Structure 1
Amino acid sequence: MPRKRNKENMPLPVRWQFTHGAYYYRVPPGLERLWDGKKRFRLGKTLPEAYREWANRIGSLDSARNVGELLNRYALEVIPTKANTTQTLNLQALKKLRVTFGSWPLHAIEPHHIYTYADSRTKTVKSADGTVKREKAYTAALHEIEVLSHAFTKAVEWGYIKRHPFAHEVRLKSKQPRDRYVEDWEISECLAIEPKRKLGGVRAVQAYIRVKALTGLSRGDLLRLEPDEHFLEDGIHVQRHKTKNSTGKRTLYIWNDDLRAAVAEAQAARPVATSRWLFCTRKGECYVKDHGRAGGWESLWADFMARVMAETKVTIPFGEHDIRAKAASDAETLEQARALLSHADSRTTQRIYRRKAERVNPLKKPG
């Protein structure tokens, strides 16, 4: 009888294990020659690294007997085509999905199983006093179900199954979009904060707010701007990082006086004037790391917002995403807002980003 897997290895593909800070593959007996003669092959320190190395070694999978094997191929062929941050989130989702559905036959999943999963998904939360408890994790469940659904869509494409087991048959209530609208006076309050340093810090965040409020660019795209590459005579040329490998959407933000002034302020605020990035760290590096996260910028924003709440009349904190929504809300038309945010579908713009109240004229008095 095979030995029971350790708890930390349960969400991983068969024969994978996490030990000594890295992911390893236990090579089946007789196949050592395919794995550099090793019985235990080091795949990588992170999950994305491990899946890339695994994909290079074994190629694609022509058949899948259960959900776990389907997710293996999905991790090998689909997830690597996504943005780095999305890859990380998808791989985390696969861990949870494998625990519940990994051993299930592909034809066993029915719509009611999806509802049960969404209702029973929980997470561990640690309170301020140190106590640990379990609470509902409905939003996380929605994301994981979205990944599972796409995996089954690919299963149909790959010929594993004839039809998707729950597409168009499950109606889960999604989280309500934020409705926080950042007023003009709140932006003015933020821009009035006195910087403590001549370069970087508050000055950089203020310049960032100016550019973001004018363009509606996402954080990932804004922090990846390179003046020498993206700034041309007619404006700022941007290909959205998130959809580069899917729609390939490109947008030109035409220069005007306000945009030129905001960009000039951003360049003047850089702690390293020779950096290739419009917004850079103290070392002149890009805030966005290889894994897609921008932890340094998140800390800088949090510190800035703490000063906003302590030193201004702003009473409700807001995030960078709310400034992107402000740009969409301030656009004269829905189509302008959609183009500004580089959305393919205006319904996304309307539902999530247009946050101003709709203006209507009252009816005329009868008679």
Structure 2
Amino acid sequence: MGRKRSAENANLPKGMIFNKKGNTYYLRASGQKDIRLGKTLSEAFRNYYAYASINFECQTMHDLIDRYLKEISPNKAESTHKSNISASKHLIKRFGHMNPRVLRAWHAYQYLDLRNREEAPVRGNREFALLSTIMSHAVRWGVIDDTPFHGIIRNPEQPRDRLVTDDELAVFVKYCP
């Protein structure tokens, strides 16, 4: 059994290392020289997946969600990225151990029903939307051949039943700069 990874490399994907002395990230492949990935973490992840796309093996949904959160999500709006991180925790909890190739539409329906029973039907819809987007990217990355989530009926959502009144808005404006 090999030794444990150092603290600065513990949260990095397989093959990626951080060189403290040079303050640079590298891809270490067996039998090759180290490939320089960049100085910043975001640059390193972009280059890592460009180089490692040939060797990237997605064994579980956790790997796939992790790749999406590190490669795609940071390029979105900050609030969307935070929402993706929050939703991904629930997805990893339920789907993290699964192989993406065996995921089917009935798994999505089971998940939506479960979130409905947990009194979070709208949040379940948002989490399913993220899962569907991740699976679309999985097709793009060559992990799966086709996304299984075409035509899924989501949980019903209730629109707002009232509008904000002028009095409520006036009270709110007092506390705003």
Q: Give how far 1:37 is off.
A: 5.1
Q: Which residue of 1 aligns with 2:173?
A: 205
Q: Which runs of 5+ in 1 are unaligned?
A: 2-14, 18-23, 39-52, 123-133, 194-201, 207-299, 302-367
- C-alpha contact 2:65 2:88 (8 A) present in aligned 1: yes
Match of 2:101 in 1: 107
Partner of 2:36: none
Indicate yes or no: 2:141 matched with 1:173. Answer: no
1:84 paired to 2:84: no
Contact 1:156–1:162 (CA<8 Å) still a contact in 2? yes
Query: For the Cα contact (< 8 Å) 1:67–1:105, is it kept in 2?
Result: yes
Displacement, 1:179?
3.4
User: How many angstroms apart in 2 are the aligned matches of 1:25 and 1:175?
Assistant: 43
C-alpha displacement of 1:108 = 1.0
User: What residue number does 1:26 align with?
Assistant: 10
**2:71 alignment partner AA:** E
Instruction: Please report how far the alpha carbon of residue 87 of structure 1 lies from its aligned counterpart in structure 2 after TM superposition.
Output: 0.6
Change (3 A) 1:54 1:179: same
**How far apart, CA to CA, are the structure 2 residues paired with 1:142 and 1:76?**
22
Contact 1:153/1:164 (CA < 8 Å) preserved in 2? yes
Which protein has the bigger helix share?
Answer: 2
Q: What residue number does 1:56 align with?
A: 43
Cα shift readout 1:158-208 (whole Å, capped 9, x = no counterpart): 22222111222x1112312213245xxx42x468x6xxxxxxxx6x927xx
**Structure 2 length-normalised TM:** 0.66
Amino acid corresponding to residue 103 of structure 2 in structure 1: I
Which residue of 1 is the match for residue 62 of structure 2? 68
* 1:94 aligns to 2:94 (yes or no): no
> What's the secondary structure of 1:90's corresponding residue?
helix
Over the matched positions of the two proteins, sequence identity in percent amounts to 30
Could you tell me how far 1:121 is from its partner in structure 2?
3.1
* Letter of the structure 2 residue corresponding to residue 113 of structure 1: H
Please report the TM-score for the alignment, with normalisation by the length of structure 1. Answer: 0.34
The two structures, once aligned, show a CA RMSD in angstroms of 3.4
Figure out how many residues of one structure are paired with residues of the other and give that number: 145
Q: For residues 147 and 91 of structure 1, what CA distance do their matches in structure 2 show?
A: 10
Q: Distance in 2 between matches of 1:55 and 1:151?
A: 19
- What secondary structure does 1:166 align onto? coil
Alignment of 1:245-284 (within 5 A): none
Query: After the TM superposition, which residues 1-367 of structure 1 pair with which residues of structure 2 at under 5 Å, given as runs?
Result: 25-26=9-10, 34-36=17-19, 54-58=41-45, 59-60=48-49, 62=53, 63=56, 64-121=58-115, 135-168=118-151, 170-182=152-164, 186-187=165-166, 189=167, 205=173, 300=175
Residue 27 of structure 1 deviates from its aligned partner by 6.7
Summarize the Cα distance change of 1:94–1:190 in structure 2 as closer, same or farther, 3 Å threshold.
closer
Query: What's the CA shift string for 1:326-347, capped at 9, x where partnerless?
Result: xxxxxxxxxxxxxxxxxxxxxx
Q: Which amino acid letter does the alignment assign opposite residue 71 of structure 1?
A: I
Q: Distance in 1 between matches of 2:88 and 2:168?
A: 40
Please give the secondary structure, in 2, of the residue aligned with 1:112: helix
Per-residue displacement from partner, 1:70-125 (whole Å, max 9, x unpaired)?
Answer: 11221122111211111101011111111211121111111111111122238xxx
Query: Could you say if the C-alpha distance between residues 179 and 75 of structure 1 is closer, same or farther in structure 2, counting changes exceeding 3 Å?
Result: same
Separation of aligned partners in 2, 1:80 and 1:159: 21
CA contact (8 A) 1:152 1:164 kept: yes
SS in 1 for 2:85: helix
Q: Against the structure 1 CA distance between its residues 76 and 190, is the aligned structure 2 distance closer, same or farther, given a 3 Å change threshold? A: closer
